[in-house]
Amino acid sequence: MKELTHYIGGAHVKGTSGRFADVMNPATGEVQARVPLANAEELAQAVDIAAKAQPAWAAVNPQRRARIMMAFVGLLNRDMDKLAEALSREHGKTLPDAKGDVIRGLEVVEYCIGAPQLLKGEYTDSAGPGIDMYSMKQALGVTAGITPFNFPAMIPMWMFAPAIACGNAFILKPSERDPSVPLMLAELMEEAGLPKGILQVVNGDKEAVDAILDHDVIQSIGFVGSTPIAEYIYGRGCANGKRVQCFGGAKNHMIIMPDADMDQVADALIGAGYGAAGERCMAISVAVPVGDETADRLIAKLVPRIEKLKVGPYTAGNDVDYGPVVTAAAKANILNLIESGITQGAELVVDGRDFSLQGYEDGYFVGPHLFDRVTKDMDIYKKEIFGPVLSCVRAQTYEEALGLAMDHEYGNGTAIFTRDGDAARDFANRINIGMVGVNVPIPVPLAYHTFGGWKKSMFGDLNQHGPDAFKFYTRTKTITSRWPSGIKDGSAFSMPLME
């Protein structure tokens, strides 16, 4: 049995807590490795090393830090196949999807190569008589990130790349379900030239999370996961005086107007609803056609496409559209929600409950499902399913469709499909959701914009990646400077004026 490690101080370190979690192969249901679960003492060891290494790293000029990011990009491209295979083996997603996971993280690293420009302050000459004023952006110190299972390459890079480019040390607590790729990323960062102790990986569960939240040296925490845990981390982290950004659940709606190209809509929903087995926070899980005629046309286009989906292990290569879900518990939760949809009166148009794959009967595969005539009081509408299940909620008017998305407690992403520019513009302006697609089904911004939802999909003031990341991982210091040519006697007791 393979036993994984932590990565602390530039070395693979065995766990000492005596606690382990099984790392499963989602396609077979077999245990393929064990990962140690850190206690507070192990986390403290990593923090101590980071705190000692960070000041020297912050003193390295931004251009030299950017060169390490540049070298890291080269190593990611070199090891792309290796990283994707390790990711697919533990997560279950297909190899093309796994490579996409790595590439979207790589793009943020590329953005961070611009750190010298992004870290520039402001300067005002002669703000007053002989007085100059300027600002500088300085690193926070030791920072940390708690990342989810569904993007074990992308989301860690979204966090540690800008944090490190800003001059911070970073401690990563990845998901214990698929920890191998984060360990590989730490190795590659040091191969690129990063000093030891600046990026460390501490595996663990709630005990390690609480140790991160409570450690007084850690200055900021990033998190991506479910909304209940996001609320917990945000509340406890803020109570401990830390800067915190938490990204939670989602229930993303796609509004389909009567004038939309229905073939384009159907193709978009297949990829956005069923890709990665629906285990994406930006997956489209609710289709909202406007008008019954639009809904009937949509269902007619969707059913044959769904019935042709190929589900299987990543080892089947390009013959597979999506793989298993991550754990047996995840599969059970999805199937329970499907049963609730049937019980509560939704029409199950495509039924994937009996899906079974010969030779992989113990794997966590879930066949594709399509519900029609879903209503907003049903559990399958209210809850994030995180599986290959698409719900169709029929709206009679555009305003009703808009209201469905606006009234839902989650506000991560949404989309509208239409040929009407006025409708699209109105939708983009009025919708209370953080990321909006116009004829784009998964509107994940590119690295030089920011990623973040609204409502119960996000807790905090700043988004991920883009300019917000460089704000989140730095503090601004403003200096007012005067070099007088002579010394004058006397003290002033009033507020100084720059006159």
Quick: pLDDT tens for 132-160: 999 999 999 999 999 999 999 999 999 99
Residue by residue, DSSP assigns 53-87 as: HHHHHHHS-HHHHHHHHHHHHHHHHHTHHHHHHHH
Q: At 273, phi and psi to the nearest 5?
A: -90, -30
| Confidence tier at 489 by pLDDT (50, 70, 90) | low
Rounded to an integer, the average pLDDT of 203-231 is 98
Is 295:289 a contact under the CB 8 Å cutoff?
yes
Query: Is 204 in a helix, a strand, or coil?
Result: coil
Structure tokens that stand for 72 in this block: 């890291």
Structure tokens that stand for 381 in this block: 């509408």
Known catalytic residue: 281? yes
Strands 142-146 and 218-224: parallel
| Confidence tier at 362 by pLDDT (50, 70, 90) | very high
Side-chain half-sphere exposure of 140, counting CA atoms within 13 A: 25
Between these two residues, 269 and 318, which has the higher pLDDT value?
A: 269
Among 150, 148, 146, 147, residue whose Cα is nearest residue 100: 150
Rounded to an integer, the average pLDDT of 456-462 is 95
Q: Give burial (CB, 10 Å; 0-12/13-18/19+) of 1.
A: exposed
Determine the Cα–Cα distance for residues 285 and 124; give it in Å rounded to an integer: 51
Q: What is the pLDDT of residue 492?
A: 67
Q: What is the pLDDT of residue 485?
A: 73
Rounded to an integer, the average pLDDT of 227-256 is 97
Query: Which long-range contacts (C-beta less than 8 Å, at least 24 apart) are formed by 346-352?
Result: 346/371, 346/372, 346/373, 346/374, 346/375, 346/378, 346/380, 346/391, 347/371, 347/372, 347/373, 349/299, 349/303, 349/392, 350/302, 350/303, 350/306, 350/307, 352/388
Determine the Cα–Cα distance for residues 405 and 254; give it in Å rounded to an integer: 9
- Furthest-apart CA atoms within the chain: distance in Å: 92
Residue-wise pLDDT for 38-94, tens only, equals 999 999 999 999 999 999 999 999 999 999 999 999 999 999 999 999 999 999 999
Whether the predicted pLDDT of 438 surpasses 90: yes
Q: What is the CATH T-level fold of the domain 2-248+457-479, as seen in this structure?
A: Aldehyde Dehydrogenase; Chain A, domain 1 (3.40.605)
Q: Could you give the residue range(s) of every CATH 3.40.309.10 domain in the chain?
A: 252-438
Rounded to an integer, the average pLDDT of 353-381 is 96
Report which secondary-structure segment, H or E, holds 173. Answer: strand 169-173
Q: What is the pLDDT of residue 487?
A: 58
Whether the predicted pLDDT of 498 surpasses 90: no
Rounded to an integer, the average pLDDT of 185-210 is 98
Whether the predicted pLDDT of 404 surpasses 90: yes
Side-chain half-sphere exposure of 162, counting CA atoms within 13 A: 29
Q: How would you label 202-220 residue by residue, b for 16+ Cβ within 10 Å and e otherwise? A: bbbeeebbbbbbebeebbb
Catalytic residue (one of 112, 166, 246, 281): 281
Determine the Cα–Cα distance for residues 43 and 142; give it in Å rounded to an integer: 12
Rounded to an integer, the average pLDDT of 489-498 is 66
Structure tokens that stand for 200 in this block: 């460390």
Q: What is the pLDDT of residue 497?
A: 66
Whether the predicted pLDDT of 490 surpasses 70: no
Question: Count of CB atoms within 10 A of residue 333's CB?
Answer: 16
Whether the predicted pLDDT of 491 surpasses 70: no
- In order of 402, 416, 430, 438, the CA distances from 426 in angstroms are 10, 11, 6, 11
Q: What is the pLDDT of residue 129?
A: 87
Whether the predicted pLDDT of 119 surpasses 70: yes
Whether the predicted pLDDT of 356 surpasses 70: yes
Determine the Cα–Cα distance for residues 43 and 141; give it in Å rounded to an integer: 16
Reported pTM: 0.94
Rg (CA), the chain: 25
- Counting residues of the chain whose pLDDT is more than 90, the rounded percentage is 94
Q: What is the pLDDT of residue 57?
A: 98
Q: What is the pLDDT of residue 318?
A: 82
Residue-wise pLDDT for 189-200, tens only, equals 999 999 999 999
Q: How would you label 459-496 residue by residue, b for 16+ Cβ within 10 Å and e otherwise? A: bbebbbbbebbbbbbbeeeeeeeeeeeeeeeeeeeeee
Residue-wise pLDDT for 86-106, tens only, equals 999 999 999 999 999 999 999
Determine the Cα–Cα distance for residues 198 and 185; give it in Å rounded to an integer: 13
Q: What is the pLDDT of residue 411?
A: 96
Among 27, 16, 414, 472, residue whose Cα is nearest residue 219: 472
Q: What is the CATH T-level fold of the domain 252-438, as seen in this structure?
A: Aldehyde Dehydrogenase; Chain A, domain 2 (3.40.309)
| Confidence tier at 285 by pLDDT (50, 70, 90) | very high
Query: Is 265 in a helix, a strand, or coil?
Result: helix
Q: Could you give the residue range(s) of every CATH 3.40.605.10 domain in the chain?
A: 2-248+457-479
- Counting residues of the chain whose pLDDT is more than 70, the rounded percentage is 98
Q: What is the pLDDT of residue 486?
A: 62
